[in-house]
Amino acid sequence: MKSAPRADVLVIGSELTRGAQVDLNGPSLRYLAESAGYTVVRLAYLADDVGEIARAVASSLDADVPLLLLSGGLGPTTDDVTRQGLAEALGVSVEVRQEELDRLARRARDRGGEVDDGSRRQALFPEGSEVLPNAAGSAAGIYAEVGSSMIFALPGVPRELEAMISREVRPRLLRRCPQAIQRGVLLRTAGIGEAELARRLDGLLAGEDVEVGYLAAPGEVEVSLLERLDDENAPSRAEALLEKIEEAIGSHLYQVVRTRGQADAGVEVLRLPKAAALPQVVGAALEQRDWRLATAESCTGGLLARRITDLPGSSAFYVGGVVAYANTLKSAQLGVSAAVLASSGAVSASCAAAMARGAHERLGAEVAVSTTGIAGPAGGSADKPVGLVYIAVVSPEARRVCRHLFSGDRWIIREKAVVAALDEVRRLLAGLPASGSVDEGDGAAR
Amino acid sequence: MKSAPRADVLVIGSELTRGAQVDLNGPSLRYLAESAGYTVVRLAYLADDVGEIARAVASSLDADVPLLLLSGGLGPTTDDVTRQGLAEALGVSVEVRQEELDRLARRARDRGGEVDDGSRRQALFPEGSEVLPNAAGSAAGIYAEVGSSMIFALPGVPRELEAMISREVRPRLLRRCPQAIQRGVLLRTAGIGEAELARRLDGLLAGEDVEVGYLAAPGEVEVSLLERLDDENAPSRAEALLEKIEEAIGSHLYQVVRTRGQADAGVEVLRLPKAAALPQVVGAALEQRDWRLATAESCTGGLLARRITDLPGSSAFYVGGVVAYANTLKSAQLGVSAAVLASSGAVSASCAAAMARGAHERLGAEVAVSTTGIAGPAGGSADKPVGLVYIAVVSPEARRVCRHLFSGDRWIIREKAVVAALDEVRRLLAGLPASGSVDEGDGAAR
């Protein structure tokens, strides 16, 4: 298999280099490139500066990068200078495109305004470039080819960028490389590390014409298998190996997503953030039985509820929960007995079990999950170190208390605990073994 | 005032260009540069590739960037190639530093091992560069000067990077520019947009030798005022103007942080993530009166609890809460009456008020705050559009129900609602007017 062609991503906007914390475009463009079979080598955030943009583009062109994706700096204000930076790198001038100016004039009139300097700026394009229509906003995109490099400059408004990716960019990527049919399989896993996954899969995939990638988040790893084939009907090696791969990953595997061909890479499930995948899988398992979920959180302090409710439509399977941060709430809201808190403490298998039972009985859900542990930085001891987390799950058919010991700082431990909690629910519902070590003591018993 | 000198940040690691979701080093280095008075023009994520690292460094040196900060790629494995990329850009070879090799040998022996190829790789430094000691790990950092450019290459492990910033980088930045005494003031605000803030402050600051920066997050904006003075005792214009500035921002201002001089830039409050500032301010106001807080969330679905419990030590003022996603939980756990749900609906001032009252009465906290609204994407109507959120606050002294209408997608609306909820608690405790429009109907009444 040819090695993956390179892509560079340039995200433009001084608000980003100055540190505004929310950038959705960099990850979107990276994902676009990766799902089209490119490997991103550089993802750069640049200030709104003509020279800086020009230098960054020129540096990618010097390296003969086949795909260069830009976003931002196409707006109507004077600090939007991506058009000029791109033109400088291409060694051309910017010129007014009359059809764009006409469109912007119609758009302005429809809104009761007139063409202004901003519109005139948005009608400027580097000589020799193509206009990429923007159905959702004022800023059209720019497409240019230089040698074997394809350059796309897209607007910075995420909604407009996403629409333009689907309508303009993906189809062009596909037309450009009609021979490079791609087949991809994404394997989403929880509770197993990247190194252990690689150890299990490397032997299976050695010598195969399949490119393997690992993408780790706290508690989760996504494995991507990618093939480039000459023919839509060519047999897929990844598919042929899939059964063995699934067996090697075992119960850690919670979702398999197939992406057949570049045009299909945006299948519905991939439109959701990756963090929504596990809640979605758990939700589907619950909805299949018409069951609903409740949460009882101590150390994760609302993070588990938040992860679930980030998923649009989660109200179909999630009733809510109790964040029992103080022990008084564990007793008053979840019925954890003073005896359990006194004898075993709040971070114990028995407390986790009592919290899950309490949520199950009081919150009107068939399934309940609880978390209690020590996220740190303070509060750890030799017996109960930072990172120790108990998770209990109760369903109408089964119950289980699991002990986990997570590494990392407070933030990572809480994230890992949330993934583990969802994963233990998935496992109990599917009749799979627990991910953590199952507590055989009083926690497991009623 | 001289305009701010430029800094570039290069974060190295293929796991980052491939899309691992957690990068703490880019923001840390950006903040280091900004707090030392630099403006970041380029923040780039690079794959572990010698040529790419060399090109990126060379491009910064070509632009005579006074400060270049790198992280990552200093580890012991063969894919760690930052040393080689940096050397290539500097036009020098790498050489073994015996004292580093000795340190690594001692370190290995202390752990019962021996010097291996990895240690030998970590003892390589570009000719002419300095070793930056790493007290916390195996990877020493690199310092080099080229013309007027200072280059720091730091390890990618966040804990080691942070320690090295404090011990090695900040002191060198300060020694390098002894004349450039800096004074900074950070003004943290909630519930007011960047444009409106700029409108209020631009007139006050016009012609003053104070650099103004705005850093926006959903619902919050941080304003930074920076002066560069020739003398530690020179009078500060920012301080002289502060009273008028505070008056112009009004009750939206929730925290003022002074940073005097580069060496002090890491004052304790700045060590916390910015997202922790508002919970911290609210927590301090509660602790002052020995009061505690409970939450009752619908549309924010755990995000408010999570934001609070992200703050280490929040258990001192936060008891926990109820995530009442389903209406059944609003009734069963918070005592919202069927009449309120039937007549006004779950997204209403009366429901918000009842939720806060219920949390106040049942969760054993003196202060309670509730959220109920429509985060979208579905569920909006003409009467109750997506973005409508009611927030109620109850304290022993006062109660209030506020109506907010937020723009943005589901994610942004939920974040803004959390900020507004914390801000409304702060305002009620401080006797300040509400940020949202206060509902005068049945919601406000008992």
Q: Are strands A94-96 and A124-126 parallel, antiparallel or unpaired?
A: antiparallel
Q: What is the pLDDT of residue A54?
A: 96
- Out of A12-21, A224-233, A271-280, B277-286, the most confident range is B277-286
Q: Do B323 and A323 touch (CB under 8 A)?
A: yes
Q: How far is B161 from chain A (nearest CA, A)?
A: 15
A290-304, A416-430, B174-188, B218-232: range with lowest mean pLDDT:
B174-188
- Pairing between strand B6-12 and A293-297? unpaired
Mean pLDDT in residue range B10-30:
76
CA–CA separation, A172 and A150 (whole Å): 10
Go through chain A and tell me how many residues it has: 446
Q: Which of B45, B47, B324 comes nearest A320 by C-beta?
A: B324
Across the interface, whether the CB atoms of B326 and A315 are under 8 A apart is answered yes
Provide, as residue numbers in chain B, all residues whose Cβ is less than 8 Å from the Cβ of A52.
41-42, 63
Which residue of A19, A44, A321 is in closest CB contact with B323? A321
Taking an 8 Å cut-off on Cβ atoms, the answer to whether A329 and B319 are in contact is yes
CA distance B51 to B303: 43
pLDDT at B445 over 50: no
Look at residue A19 and tell me whether its pLDDT is greater than 80.
no
State the sign of the Cα–Cα–Cα–Cα dihedral A361, A365, A367, A368: negative
Say if residue A265's pLDDT is above 80: no
**Cβ contact A363–B45 (<8 Å):** no
A295, A329, A378 member nearest B320 (Cβ): A329
List Cβ neighbours of A354 (8 Å cut-off, separation of 6 or more): A330, A334, A335, A336, A337, A340
3-state secondary structure of B362: helix
Top-confidence residue, B220 or B166:
B220
Please answer yes or no on whether A216 and B59 come within 8 Å at the CB atom.
no
Q: Which residues contact A335 (CB under 8 A, 6 or more apart)?
A: A354, A357, A358, A361, A362
Question: Which residues in A lie closer than 8 A to residue B410 (C-beta atoms)?
Answer: 310, 312
Q: pLDDT at position B22, please?
A: 56
Instruction: Point out the residue among A17, A59, A326 whose CB comes nearest to the CB of B319.
Output: A326
Mean pLDDT of A104-112: 86
The CA distance from B12 to B74, in Å, is 9
Query: Rounded mean pLDDT of chain A?
Result: 88
Task: Quote the mean pLDDT of chain B.
Answer: 88
* pLDDT over 60 (residue A248): yes
- Name every chain B residue with its beta carbon within 8 A of the beta carbon of A17: 30, 39-43
pLDDT greater at residue B155 or residue A269: B155
Reading the block at residue A429, the tokens are: 């519902």
| B228-286 pLDDT, tens digit each | 776 667 788 888 899 999 999 999 999 998 876 544 444 455 556 678 899 999 999 99
DSSP class of residue B168? I
All residues of chain A having their beta carbon less than 8 Å from the beta carbon of residue B321 are 302, 322-323, 325
Summarised one tens digit per residue, pLDDT across range A384-423 is 999 999 999 999 999 999 999 998 788 889 999 999 999 9
Residues of B in contact with A34 (CB under 8 A): 18-19
A379 closest CA partner among A387, A367, A368: A387
Confidence of residue A446 (pLDDT cuts 50, 70, 90): very low
Residues B27, A17: C-beta atoms closer than 8 Å: no
- Enumerate long-range contacts of A140-147, CB under 8 Å, 24 or more apart: A140/A74, A140/A100, A140/A103, A141/A74, A141/A168, A142/A74, A142/A82, A142/A83, A142/A86, A143/A168, A143/A172, A144/A86, A144/A90, A146/A61, A146/A90, A147/A61, A147/A64
Residue B264: the pLDDT is 47
Cα A82 from Cα B80, distance rounded (Å)? 33
Is the Cβ pair A301, B322 closer than 8 Å? no
Q: Which of A43, A304, A312 sits opposite B302 (nearest CB)?
A: A304
Phi/psi at B201 (5° precision): -100, -25
CB–CB contacts below 8 A, A to B = 246
Q: Measuring CA to CA, which residue among B384, B320, B377 is closest to residue B352? A: B384
- Domain spanning A6-176 has what CATH number? 3.40.980.10
Percent of chain A at pLDDT exceeding 70: 91
Contact criterion met (CB < 8 Å) for B40 and A47: yes
- Looking at residue B18, its pLDDT comes to 66
pLDDT at site B275: 81
When scoring A23, A30, A42 by the number of chain B Cβ atoms within 10 A, the one with the most, hence best to mutate, is A42
- With left for phi above 0 and alpha for psi between -120 and 50, is residue A19 left, alpha or beta? left
Average pLDDT of the segment spanning B143-166:
90
**What mean pLDDT is predicted for residues A150-178?**
84
Q: Which amino acid is at B50?
A: V
In chain B, residues with a C-beta closer than 8 Å to the C-beta of A363 are 329, 332-333
Contact B329 A315 (CB under 8 A): no
**Mean pLDDT within B412-418:** 93
Whole-number pLDDT of residue A30 = 86
* Band of residue A260 on the pLDDT scale cut at 50, 70, 90: low
* Residue spans of alpha helices (H) in A63-116: 82-90, 98-110
Contact A46 B41 (CB under 8 A): yes
B221 CB neighbours in chain A (<8 A) are none
Do residues B438 and B427 touch, judged by C-beta distance below 8 A?
A: no
Residues of chain A with Cβ-Cβ distance to B34 below 8 Å are 18-19
Q: Are A295 and B323 in contact (CB under 8 A)?
A: yes
Provide the 8-state DSSP code for B167.
I
Q: Express each pLDDT in B384-408 by its tens digit.
A: 999 999 999 999 999 999 999 998 8
Contact B20 A217 (CB under 8 A): yes
Res A430 pLDDT > 80: yes
Comparing CB atoms, the residue among B46, B216, B328 nearest residue A20 is B216
Mean pLDDT of A120-147: 92
The amino acid sitting at A96 is V
Question: What would the pLDDT profile of A202-226 be if each residue is shown by its tens digit?
Answer: 889 888 888 777 777 789 988 888 7
Query: Which residue is it, tokens 């922790």?
Result: B276
**Is A157's pLDDT higher than 60?**
yes
Confidence of residue B3 (pLDDT cuts 50, 70, 90): low
ipTM comes to 0.74
Query: Is the pLDDT at B180 greater than 90, yes or no?
Result: no
Tokens describing residue B140: 């020493």
Q: Which of B214, B329, B377 sits opposite A319 (nearest CB)?
A: B329
Q: Do A333 and B329 touch (CB under 8 A)?
A: no
Note whether B40 contacts A52, CB cutoff 8 Å: no
Answer whether residue A250 shows pLDDT above 60: yes
Q: How far is B98 from chain A (nearest CA, A)?
A: 32
Q: Where are the domains of chain A?
A: 6-176, 181-271, 274-438
Cβ separation B46–A45 shorter than 8 A: no
Looking at the partner chain, which of B16, B323, B328 has a beta carbon nearest the beta carbon of A302? B323
Which positions in chain A touch B336 (Cβ < 8 Å)?
A: none
- B227/B401 Cα distance (integer angstroms): 41
Best of A10, A15, A21 to mutate (most B CBs within 10 Å, chain B):
A21
Residue A369 pLDDT > 70: yes
Closest CA to A80 of A115, A124, A144: A124
A312-326: per-residue pLDDT in tens?
A: 899 999 999 999 999
Interchain pair A309, B318: CB under 8 A: no
The predicted pLDDT at position A262 comes to: 43
**Which CATH number is A181-271 given?**
3.30.70.2860
d(CA A220, CA B119): 30
Angstroms from A75 CA to nearest CA on chain B: 16
CA distance B285 to chain A (A): 19
How far is Cα A184 from Cα A223, in angstroms, rounded to an integer? Answer: 10
- Cis preceding-peptide flag for A377 (omega within 30 of 0): yes
Determine, for residues B215 and A19 on separate chains, whether the beta-carbon distance falls below 8 Å: yes
Q: What is the pLDDT of residue A443?
A: 43
Nearest-Cα distance to chain B for A20, in Å, is 5
A320 → closest Cβ in B63, B322, B414:
B322
Contact residues on chain B for A62, CB-CB shorter than 8 A: 55
Distance CA B225, CA B185 (A): 5
Q: Quick one: fold of A274-438?
A: Maf protein (3.90.950)
Contacts of B160 in chain A (CB under 8 A): none
Q: Nearest residue on chain A to B157, judged by CA atoms?
A: A408
Considering all CA atoms of chain A, what is the largest pairwise distance in Å, rounded to the nearest integer?
Answer: 79
What pLDDT sits at residue B292? 98
Contacts of B368 in chain A (CB under 8 A): none
Alpha carbons B119 and B121: distance in angstroms, whole number: 5
Measure CB to CB from residue A323 to each of B15, B320, B414 and give the nearest one.
B320
Q: Of A319, A333, A377, which is closest to B326 when you measure between CB atoms?
A: A319
> Per the CB < 8 Å rule, is B303 touching A306?
yes
Is it the case that residue B20 has pLDDT exceeding 70?
A: no
Tokens of A259: 């992406």
Q: What is the pLDDT of residue A445?
A: 37
Q: Which of B23, B43, B361 to mutate to test the interface with A (most CBs of A within 10 A)?
A: B43
Where does the pLDDT of residue A95 fall: very low under 50, low under 70, confident under 90, or very high at 90 and above?
A: very high
Of A17, A43, A322, the CB nearest to B40: A17
Considering only the beta carbons, identify the residue of B31, B274, B320 that sits closest to A325. B320
pLDDT over threshold 70, residue A3: no
Identify from A157, A323, A333 which residue to disrupt to test chain B contact, counting B C-beta atoms within 10 A and taking the largest count: A323
How far apart (Å, rounded) are the C-alpha atoms in residues B76 and A199? 20
What confidence tens digit (pLDDT) does each residue in A34-80 have? 777 788 899 999 988 999 999 999 999 998 999 999 999 998 877 88
